[in-house]
Amino acid sequence: MPQRAVVPITAEGLKTACSQCNLQELCLPFGMSDGDIDQLDGLVGARRKVKRHQHLYRVGDTFEAIFAVRTGSFKTDVLLEDGREQVTGFQMSGEIIGLDGISTDAHTCNAVALEDSDVCIIPFANLETLSREVESLQHQFHKVMSREIVRDHGVMMLLGSMRAEERLAAFLINMSQRFTARGFSAAEFHLRMTREEIGSYLGLKLETVSRAFSRFQENGLIKVQQKHIRIVNIGGLKALLSHLPSV
């Protein structure tokens, strides 16, 4: 295993054209006019491949760009001195990573690929320049940041006020919705993260996550086969969240 090897990987010559990208409606350009999107083509610098388990960036790396996931998926996490890990999010195609770096010009979390992945590099200085000219871009970017804040509030709700099975149900419903938005099945999907990573995200131990999966299966809500999940009774899952009697 080579150590880090940051530079060679970055040099992925291909320019990405937002105007041609089929992720538009999930990504930064969402809601912008075709004309405005054309202007983005000059902004998005290059792509970068990140192999499974490699870091896209680490805590302390100087902040220069945000990234849009093109293919694959990532987790972001923060570490305590004593090694405890908190996964702060999982990112799928079209989603933006790296916003944490703006505040101090250095990244405050780690971003790790969960599978071989591919991101668009959006140099932040250029983004700010262009969004001073393109109003719709400016507004879209603000929405992206705000959406992240709202998402974080949801996670706080989950971590602070829900019990284990509610957390996992919320997680599965969320994953299902995001897969759906990407044209995949809402009912059947492959989780790219381990039980431990799910647990870290949900504030639970991996054993608890595993048991909750098993319980859901016993109750006919889902079918689990390792990382492969099939949702059998989405209504039942949702009922868990609202404390309703399961339909």
- Interacting residue ranges for a second copy, rule: CB under 8 A: 78, 80-82, 84-86, 88, 99-104, 108-109, 128, 131-133, 135, 138-139, 142-143, 145-150, 152-157, 159-162, 200-203, 242-243
What amino acid is encoded at 54 in this protein? Q
210 binds, among DNA, a second copy, none (CB under 5 to 8 A by kind): DNA
For the chain, the DSSP string reads: --S--HHHHH-B-PPP-GGG-TTGGGSTTTT--HHHHHHHTTT---EEEE-TT-EEE-TTPBP-EEEEEEES-EEEEEE-TTS-EEEEEEE-TT-EE-GGGTTTTB--SEEEESSSEEEEEEEHHHHHHHHHH-HHHHHHHHHHHHHHHHHHHHHHHHHHH--HHHHHHHHHHHHHHHHHHTTS-SSEEE--S-HHHHHHHHT--HHHHHHHHHHHHHTTSEEEETTEEEES-HHHHHHHHHTPPP-
Q: Supply the minimum distance, in Å, between the C-beta of residue 169 and a second copy.
A: 13
118 binds, among a second copy, DNA, none (CB under 5 to 8 A by kind): none
- Considering beta carbons, is residue 105 or 116 the nearer one to a second copy? 105
Q: How far apart are CA 233 and CA 242, in angstroms?
A: 15
Q: Supply the minimum distance, in Å, between the C-beta of residue 193 and DNA.
A: 8
- Considering beta carbons, is residue 151 or 205 the nearer one to DNA? 205
Choice from 196, 234, 238, 241 touching DNA (CB under 7 A)? 196
Q: How far apart are CA 138 and CA 128, in angstroms?
A: 8
Cα distances from 146 to residues 27, 64, 150, in angstroms, run 14, 20, 6
Q: Which stretch binds DNA (CB under 7 A): 21-29, 92-100, 141-149, 209-217?
A: 209-217
Q: Which of residues 141-180 bind DNA (CB under 7 A)?
A: 163-165
Q: Supply the minimum distance, in Å, between the C-beta of residue 214 and DNA.
A: 3
Q: Supply the minimum distance, in Å, between the C-beta of residue 188 and DNA.
A: 16
Structure tokens at 215: 């319980």
- Considering beta carbons, is residue 96 or 119 the nearer one to a second copy? 96
91 binds, among DNA, a second copy, none (CB under 5 to 8 A by kind): none
Q: Which stretch binds DNA (CB under 7 A): 39-47, 66-74, 107-115, 219-227?
A: 219-227
132 binds, among a second copy, DNA, none (CB under 5 to 8 A by kind): a second copy
Choice from 145, 206, 232, 241 touching DNA (CB under 7 A)? 206
Strand partners, 121: 67
* Site for DNA, rule CB under 7 A: 163-165, 194-196, 203-211, 213-214, 224, 226-227
